[in-house]
Amino acid sequence: MPSDADAVIPVLEALLDQARLRLNAWKVPQESVPAPAAALNAEPPRTPGVKTATARVDPASILKATDLARYIDHTLLKPEARAEDVVRVAEEARQYGFATVCVNSCHVATAARVLAGASAVPIAVVGFPLGAMLPSAKAFEAREAIRAGAREIDMVLNLGALKAHDYQRVHQDIAAVVEASHPIPVKVILETGHLTDEEKVVACALSKAAGAAFVKTSTGFGPGGATVKDIELMRAVVGDEVGVKASGGVRSAEDAIKLLRAGANRLGASASVAIVTGQISTAQY
C-alpha cells in the first residue's frame, strides 16, 4: 500500500506547477491566468476574535499616518530585550492602537499581561530566526507560546529544505505548526532575501496549502527586507485568501503606504511609533 507521504507528493507537484504558472503570469501580465489548484485556494483556518483579515487594504482608508497603526505588528525581537522593554512596547501598542505586539516566545506572558483588555494581541515568533529546527520543536514552541498567551504565531520555514527542493518536508514543517496552533493563525516567514522569485512562489504556495493564514517577507535578521516587488509577487500567488505581511526595513509612513498599496495587509516594524507619528527611524530589530 502507498504511504501517506506517497499520496502527498502528487498534490505538491501539482501545487508547484500552478505556482510556476503564477510566477510566469506575474512576470508577463496576461488577460487570463490559469485557475489555481484547489489546494492552493483552500481557505485556511480562522479564529473568531483574532485579527485574521487577509484581503488587500483600500489605500483610500489611510488618510493620515495614525491610520496605519491598525495594520502594524509592533515588534521587539532583539535577543537582549528585557522584561521592562517588553512592557514598554506593549504599553506603546495600547497607546497608539497597533494591531499586535510581536516578541520572542519567552516574553509572551509579559506582553499578554500588559495587553489584557486591549485591542492589540501578542504574537510569538517560532523557530526564529533561522527556521532550522525540527518540526516537532517548532510545534512544541508554538503550543507553549499559545499557553503563555500568544494569539498569533509567526514561524520561520525550513530554508534548507526549500533550497533542496524537498517540498514535502517544507509542507510538513509548516503543517505541524499550523496543526499545533489551531485555531490560532500562523504566519510563515519566507526570508525573501535568501530566495529566488521561483522559490518565493513555491514557498507561498506551500504555506497556503499547509493552512497558513499569512505569508511574511523577513525576520529582520537576514539579508534585505520587505520590498514592493516581493509583496506584489506574494499577493499574486496567495490571492485574498491568505494575508501578506511586509516585515524588515519598514521605517517610515511612506514605506508603510507603499507596501500596503503593493498588497500587504500587515506590517512588521520596530519603528512603529516613528511610522505613525510621521518620523523616519533608523532602528533595527
Return the closest-CA partner of residue 69 out of 274, 281, 280: 274
DSSP state for residue 133 in the 8-state scheme? S
φ, ψ for residue 128, nearest 5 deg: -100, 140
For the purposes of burial, counting CB atoms within 10 Å of the CB of 269, is it exposed (0-12), middle (13-18) or buried (19 or more)? buried
Q: Taking the alpha carbons of 226, 50, 107, 83 in that order, is the dihedral positive or negative?
A: positive
Interior CA angle at 214 toward 208 and 219, to 5°?
115
158-188 in b/e form (b: 16+ CB < 10 A) is bbebbeeeebbbbbbbbbbbbebbeebbbbb
How far from chain centre, in Å, is Cα 3? 31
Q: Which residues are catalytic?
A: 154, 216, 245
- E strands, the chain, in order: 72-76, 100-104, 121-126, 152-156, 186-189, 214-216, 243-247, 266-269
